[in-house]
Chain A
Amino acid sequence: MNKRLGAYLMKKAPHMLAFVPLIVFGLMILALALVLEQGSGEKVKFTQLVDKPAPTTVLPILGKNQKYISTQDWKEKKYIVNFFASWCVPCREEHEFLLRLMENNIAVIGIAYKDNSKAVRGFLRVAGNPFRVVGEDTTGHAGIDWGITGVPETYIVDKAGIIRYHHSGPLTDDIIERELLPTWRDLK
């Protein structure tokens, strides 16, 4: 540090030094405010499991007594997992896109998150069923296993059982065309 400058300030203008903490404090507040301002309105994204193995999920199959779906059975095939619920409003919004995926012969496994069988069946009867198979996650623990924070959430799993894509929130035309389908096509 410049000793002479320090000494000069101490002698000539000690009151100016007194402002230094205040200025530093002000700058810290400013920096904090800027960071907070930038982050506002942006949802924290949880995509920890992308490029990691998909969890082994075993769930009772909707409408089939004592039959279970396991993600292990889907090894060597690529598939999409969609967490949904009949009580979830954004799920209804994205439903038409899931139906479109089905029309394109894309395998989508539905996981009914914290729902009851009757409500799920009613929902799929009215809105159409885009799923190859529907597993029932009544406790919500399968959802936590996949790291979801709500419904709907969508994952692409490749043939090796690795999660390659994760989208949180309803699918839109834009997301399907620009993210989901290209990722899907790139996978063998």
Chain B
Amino acid sequence: MIKSAGLIFILMGLFLLIPLSVWAMSAENALPDPAQEERAEKVGSELRCVVCQSESINDSQAEMAHDMRILIREKIKGGWTDDQILGYLRDRYGDFILLRPPFQTNTYVLWLLPFGFLMLAAGLLCLLFRRRARGG
């Protein structure tokens, strides 16, 4: 009895290891060329689903995300580069659609602040150690 319960828990645990995004693109829509499909996956992972906000297009079940996945694949088939596709969607939905905010004037603070804090902390630590060393 106890043994079988343990087995069930192990099995449940194993199921948790299966990434759900594997099912994001159904086989019928995937591009036949694996290299192109890989590009489509990569582009999709960089885009935020515009109707659900905290998911990538690859991970989202929303219809809009599904349509965008199809669109990405059509553009790739049509010879667009990854940057062209990202740019196309960014023109329409703004920086919001990019999960990784670009490094630009209005995001300098966002990108540099963590490093700023790190340097500040390092500086303070240095000061502290020097003082400790001097003070014995």
Interface residues of A (CB under 8 A from B): 7, 10, 44, 46, 48-49, 52, 114, 139-141, 143-147, 149-150
Contacts and interface: CB of A to CB of B under 8 A. Distances in A.
Contacts of B68: 144
From DSSP, what is the main secondary structure of chain B's interface residues? helix
Contacts of B51: 149-150
A144 B91 CA distance: 11
B93 to A, nearest CB: 5
Interface of B: 50-51, 53, 63-64, 67-68, 70-71, 74, 89, 91-94, 96, 131
Given A139-B70, A141-B67, A141-B71, A146 B131 contact: no
B131 A144 contact: no
Contacts of A144: 64, 67-68, 71, 89, 92
Nearest to B64: A149
B122 to A, nearest CB: 15
Contacts of A146: 92
A150 B63 CA distance: 10
A48 B93 contact: yes
B67 A140 contact: yes
A48 B91 contact: yes
A46 B131 contact: no
B125 to A, nearest CB: 12
Given A114-B63, A139-B70, A150-B64, A145 B131 contact: no
Contacts of A7: 131
Contacts of A139: 67, 70
A144 B66 CA distance: 12
A148 to B, nearest CB: 9
B92 A49 contact: yes
Contacts of A140: 63-64, 67
A10 B127 CA distance: 12
B50 A149 contact: yes
Chain A to chain B: the 3 pairs with minimum beta-carbon distance, closest first: A147-B92, A140-B67, A48-B94
A141 B131 CA distance: 65
Contacts of A149: 50-51, 64, 93
